[in-house]
């Protein structure tokens, strides 16, 4: 594997020009209790192409890719790689066959360098020293990955981490790369950079298979598209012959949704008021770094406040602070006139905050518990899950109302179209998008006053996305206030009444959702100046927090102020001469 992967360009050769497909899946069937995840699937993927897999939540895409990567065994069917039958019993078998996979949740060790992460477990290939370093450089140059081997992974933004994952796979000799929803966490500029990388890879004869719910992107980068519905392939289409609308109809039989919110329902009654919130975190070396640096905003009843930002600039920490999951150094949080700065997460929920967390596995679900128990999670003292006080004695603890909780779990499954064999199965056995739909259903069921929604439609298909957007809009009309964090800029622009940009732990700019484009917002998020954005005077000109080692783009501190002719209605995200008082600080890195 290693010998065949050192071509003169440093790229794996992939040069076999035979007519065999890079991947041929024939008659793949995979059953789980109560579900046929894949049913007699045939797919042929030509060498040197980018092949997209699309389909609604629970259609069977991830299962199929896990089978190809040796993580799961099919009950029936065969896999051929480059025309040869391949028995893939484990990822190790797949790697030997030149298959690599980049999962949605990156699997890198934060406290190790890029080089260490790359060689870990693959020491036999090029050792751990000079040869390994040379190989990393060759691959990085050949595919223009821009890898810096000695940087700690924790200092990298998401787009860079993704490139490290791709490099890791290439280093192990991958010629077939599987990417699971690779663009879900990227801003538009980063998506473009990733697609440029994918084009480089295929130009060198590599084959890319990727799963995505973003149909516009699929059409822009894929050479071929396979649509899976309810476990089986329903169409193979060429992008040049297809529109996003047709693709959506093939997938779910529904129209492409629009996030656009036209009529305003914003009132002048404040629901959430956050004032001068400061939060710092301890670095592994014991130093302190600023994560939230004087955050202030108000969300009114009937208002959706969207916060745009490249992952790692403090949005996640802002959400956790509002939910009472961290202990801010200063500032206050007021909900509907009540100071909740020092009350517990449970008390915050009980006073009417719904919470759709960013990491559904860590904060949204008990993965090994049945779905009906997950109905109770986070709402243990609320109806319909609780009844009491026990035995009618005042002050006695409440009892869990198990029957009612089960019935309500059934209702959520039906209303939110959660595809599951039942409420007794574990949350872990649901597909990612169906887990998300269940969480959204649970949180909306309690008619919150304030919804904290972090990436509410991440991983859900276009049909379910439309439904979730509708739910949020309907509740907003009835006075719901929403703090919305999303990497999906169309969603952010479409749903928000007010839009703020977060950068290095500060709210640095405002954007008008009616006029701003995803590209402009994306630029602002990476620290560049952009049109339609208003510099926030009240946040002060000098950022105190954190260098932005986030994202693919380095901070553009050295950039000059914008052209005078653009400056009339345009604000820079940060003043051009801003100098970080502490370059070692980072905004909200994990």
Ligand X SMILES: Nc1ncnc2c1ncn2[C@@H]1O[C@H](COP(=O)(O)OP(=O)(O)OP(=O)(O)O)[C@@H](O)[C@H]1O
Residues that bind ligand X (CB under 6 A): 32, 35, 37, 55, 57-63, 419, 429-434, 459
Cβ 202 to ligand X shortest distance, Å: 23
Using the minimum distance from each CB to ligand X, give the nearer residue, 147 or 409.
409
Using the minimum distance from each CB to ligand X, give the nearer residue, 63 or 183.
63
Using the minimum distance from each CB to ligand X, give the nearer residue, 62 or 385.
62
Cβ 358 to ligand X shortest distance, Å: 17
Rounded Cα gap, residues 221 and 515, in angstroms: 27
Cβ 213 to ligand X shortest distance, Å: 7
Q: Which residue is nearest to ligand X (CB)?
A: 433
Cβ atoms of 331 and 282 closer than 8 Å: no
Looking up tokens 């150094």 gives 329
Spell out where 212-269 has E strands.
224-229, 232-237
Using the minimum distance from each CB to ligand X, give the nearer residue, 312 or 432.
432
Helices (H), 187-312: 188-203, 215-221, 244-252
Using the minimum distance from each CB to ligand X, give the nearer residue, 27 or 561.
27
Using the minimum distance from each CB to ligand X, give the nearer residue, 459 or 522.
459
Cβ atoms of 314 and 587 closer than 8 Å: yes
Cβ 308 to ligand X shortest distance, Å: 24
Cβ 467 to ligand X shortest distance, Å: 14
Using the minimum distance from each CB to ligand X, give the nearer residue, 38 or 572.
38
257 closest CA partner among 412, 59, 488, 411: 488
Using the minimum distance from each CB to ligand X, give the nearer residue, 361 or 419.
419
Using the minimum distance from each CB to ligand X, give the nearer residue, 459 or 543.
459
Cβ 190 to ligand X shortest distance, Å: 21
Cβ 431 to ligand X shortest distance, Å: 3
Strand order in the sheet with 338-339: 288-300, 270-282, 330-335, 338-339
Using only C-alpha atoms, the chain has a radius of gyration, in whole angstroms, of 25
Cα 114–116–117 angle (5° rounding)?
65
Using the minimum distance from each CB to ligand X, give the nearer residue, 432 or 551.
432
Q: Residue 179: what are its φ and ψ, rounded to 5°? A: -120, 125
Using the minimum distance from each CB to ligand X, give the nearer residue, 60 or 551.
60
Contacts of 564 (CB under 8 A, 6+ apart): none
SS3 of 35, please? strand
Sign of the C-alpha dihedral, residues 572, 575, 577, 581? negative
Cβ 239 to ligand X shortest distance, Å: 20
Q: Residue 435: what are its φ and ψ, rounded to 5°? A: -60, -45
Q: Around Cβ 190, how many Cβ atoms within 10 Å? A: 25
Q: Around Cβ 340, how many Cβ atoms within 10 Å? A: 18
Burial 552-573 (b: 16+ CB within 10 A, else e): bbebbbeeeebeeeeeeebbbb
Looking up tokens 């004869």 gives 205
Task: Tell how strand 304-308 and strand 498-503 pair up.
Answer: parallel
Cβ 436 to ligand X shortest distance, Å: 8
Cβ 57 to ligand X shortest distance, Å: 3
Cβ atoms of 532 and 571 closer than 8 Å: no
Angle subtended by helix axes 244-252 and 462-477, to nearest 10:
90
Using the minimum distance from each CB to ligand X, give the nearer residue, 430 or 493.
430
CA of residue 353 relative to chain centroid, distance: 22
Using the minimum distance from each CB to ligand X, give the nearer residue, 356 or 430.
430
Using the minimum distance from each CB to ligand X, give the nearer residue, 348 or 458.
458
Rounded Cα gap, residues 1 and 92, in angstroms: 12
364 closest CA partner among 432, 279, 292: 432
Cβ 356 to ligand X shortest distance, Å: 16
31 closest CA partner among 39, 22, 41: 39
Using the minimum distance from each CB to ligand X, give the nearer residue, 184 or 292.
184
Cβ 228 to ligand X shortest distance, Å: 7
SS3 of 533, please? strand
Burial zone of 578 (CB within 10 Å; 0-12 exposed, 13-18 middle, 19+ buried): middle
Rounded Cα gap, residues 128 and 132, in angstroms: 6
């Amino acid at each position: 594997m290693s010998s065949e992967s050192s071509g003169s360009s440093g790229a794996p050769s992939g040069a076999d020009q035979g007519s065999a497909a890079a991947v041929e899946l024939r008659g793949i069937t995979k059953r789980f209790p109560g579900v046929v995840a894949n049913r007699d699937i045939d797919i042929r993927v030509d060498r040197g192409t980018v092949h997209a897999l699309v389909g609604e939540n629970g259609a069977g895409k991830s299962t199929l890719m896990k089978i190809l990567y040796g993580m799961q065994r099919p009950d029936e069917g065969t896999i051929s790689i480059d025309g040869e039958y391949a028995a893939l019993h484990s990822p190790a078998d797949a790697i030997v066959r030149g298959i690599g996979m980049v999962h949605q949740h990156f699997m890198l060790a934060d406290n190790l360098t890029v080089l260490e992460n790359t060689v870990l477990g693959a020491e036999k290939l090029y050792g751990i020293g000079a040869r390994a370093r040379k190989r990393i450089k060759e691959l990085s140059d050949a595919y223009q990955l821009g890898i810096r081997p000695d940087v700690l992974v924790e200092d990298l933004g998401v787009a860079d981490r993704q490139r490290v994952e791709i490099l890791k796979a290439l280093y192990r000799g991958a010629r077939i790369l599987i990417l699971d929803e690779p663009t879900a966490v990227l801003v538009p500029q980063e998506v473009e950079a990733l697609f440029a990388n994918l084009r480089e890879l295929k130009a060198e004869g590599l084959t890319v298979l990727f799963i995505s719910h973003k149909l516009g992107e699929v059409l822009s980068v894929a050479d071929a598209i396979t649509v899976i519905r309810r476990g089986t392939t329903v169409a193979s289409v060429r992008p040049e012959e297809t529109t996003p609308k047709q693709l959506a109809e093939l997938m779910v039989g529904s129209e492409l949704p629009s996030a656009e919110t036209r009529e305003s329902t914003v009132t002048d009654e404040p629901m959430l008021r956050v004032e001068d919130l400061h939060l710092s975190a301890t670095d592994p070396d014991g130093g302190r770094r600023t994560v939230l640096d004087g955050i202030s905003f108000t969300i009114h009843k009937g208002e959706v406040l969207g916060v745009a930002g490249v992952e790692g600039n403090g949005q996640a920490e802002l959400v956790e602070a509002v939910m009472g999951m961290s202990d801010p150094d200063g500032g206050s949080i007021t909900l509907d006139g009540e100071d909740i700065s020092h009350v517990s997460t449970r008390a915050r929920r009980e006073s009417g905050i719904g919470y759709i967390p960013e990491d559904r596995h860590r904060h949204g679900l008990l993965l090994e518990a049945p779905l009906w128990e997950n109905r109770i999670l986070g709402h243990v003292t609320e109806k319909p899950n609780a009844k009491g006080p026990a035995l009618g004695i005042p002050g006695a603890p409440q009892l869990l109302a198990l029957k009612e909780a089960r019935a309500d779990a059934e209702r959520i499954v039906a209303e939110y179209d959660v595809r599951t064999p039942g409420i007794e199965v574990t949350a872990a056995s649901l597909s990612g998008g169906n887990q998300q739909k269940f969480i959204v259903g649970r949180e909306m069921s309690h008619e919150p006053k304030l919804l904290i929604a972090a990436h509410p439609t991440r991983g859900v298909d276009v049909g379910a996305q439309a439904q979730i957007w509708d739910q949020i809009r309907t509740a907003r009309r009835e006075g719901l206030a929403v703090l919305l964090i999303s990497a999906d800029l169309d969603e952010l622009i479409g749903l928000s009444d007010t839009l703020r940009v977060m950068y290095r732990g500060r709210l640095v700019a405002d954007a008008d959702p009616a006029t701003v484009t995803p590209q402009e917002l994306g630029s602002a998020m990476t620290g560049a100046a952009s049109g339609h954005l208003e510099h926030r005077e009240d946040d002060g000109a000098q950022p105190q927090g954190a260098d932005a080692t986030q994202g693919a783009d380095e901070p553009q501190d050295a950039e000059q102020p914008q052209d005078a002719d653009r400056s009339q209605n345009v604000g820079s995200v940060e003043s051009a001469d801003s100098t970080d008082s502490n370059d070692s600080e980072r905004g909200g890195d994990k």
